[in-house]
Amino acid sequence: MTATRVGIAWVRTRVALQGLSVLLFVTLHAQGPQREPLRETGSSVTGAFEGWFTYPDNSYGLLVGYYNRNTKQELDIPIGPANHMDPAGPDRGQPTHFLTGRQSGMFVVRVPKDFGKNKITWTILANGLTTTIPLSLHPDYEISPFVSTASVIGAPGEGDTPPVLRFEEHGPSAQGPVPLAADKTTAVSNPLTLTVWVADDGKIFTNSGAIPAAMKTRPPVTLRWTKYRGPGQVVFAKPTPDIEKAAECHEKGMVFCGTSTTTATFSEPGDYQVHLLANDYSGEGGGGFQCCWTTGIVKVAVRPN
């Protein structure tokens, strides 16, 4: 059985429990690799629409990731003819640096409450290959990224929430895919210190009564720093830094708290963005269920030496 067929069979099991939306989403994106084989270099990059959610003011967030089918080629594609969102683009917060493989929940496009049946498209031209995907409020794509909803009532992880993320110990916080933002300044070749404070409820999301053994042994929160935008290279001292657990956790409703520090070094001057993904036990992309992780974006102005 191919990897693609395994993915679709797994989704159909999920659909029987939780609805049609996940079947439509994963089947659509699983078909891509069948049409275009994986290569080390020279393949396309395709956007991935992962669903929509409602803000408290009744506007909407469209959650988007991507799939870089190159196994060894990361790509920088500036905003413009080769990387644009329409209408009201070309820049709607999408990345310009594309990591290899499938990257889930990388950014959110906010649309007004009267968006209705309108659509936004994301077009990417990579290695001479153009892909375009639509984003909409189709009812089958509604998701719950801020709290898990297991289909088995009372199953482990019911009510799981994303980690709490802060860039200052007592500063603003965020939970979920709408990114916490910060601004920093540094110089070329001068390592920039990146420190974060995290907290988590310690819940494990699973759609059944069974808790995978791997979930019991890994930390409640894991972090990953990556380049998101910028003209040069970004080197992180520890792209997946450890979290130093606090002796006590005073964050309301959280059972785990800690801090983490790494550095980023930039190869040339310019405006950059670095992306932080804080996953709880559910793993990247919520294990395919669009909950529960938190995103951070640090905008860095890099001066010449």
Q: Residues 225-250: what's their mean pLDDT?
A: 96
pLDDT (0 to 100) of residue 14: 33
Tell me how far CA of residue 174 lies from CA of 119, 147, 217, in angstroms.
27, 13, 26
pLDDT of 278: 96
Task: Compute the distance between CA of residue 31 and CA of residue 289 in angstroms, rounded to an integer.
Answer: 19
pLDDT for 148 equals 82
The predicted pLDDT at position 219 comes to 82
Tell me the chain's radius of gyration from C-alpha atoms. Answer: 19
Reported as a single tens digit per residue, the pLDDT across 162-197 is 999 999 999 999 999 999 999 999 999 899 999 999
The Cα–Cα gap between 174 and 163 comes to: 8
| pLDDT tens, residue by residue, 48-65 | 999 999 999 999 999 999
Joined together, the tokens standing for residue 23 give 């079947």
User: Residue 21: pLDDT above 60?
Assistant: no
Cα gap 104→280, rounded to integer Å? 14
CA distances from residue 128 to 42, 95, 231, 296 in whole angstroms, order as listed: 8, 18, 21, 31
Two tokens, residue 44: 């396309």
Amino acid in position 178? V
Rounded to an integer, the average pLDDT of 19-43 is 53
207 φ/ψ angles, rounded to the nearest 5 degrees: -90, 10
Residue among 221, 199, 202, 198 nearest 159 (CA): 202
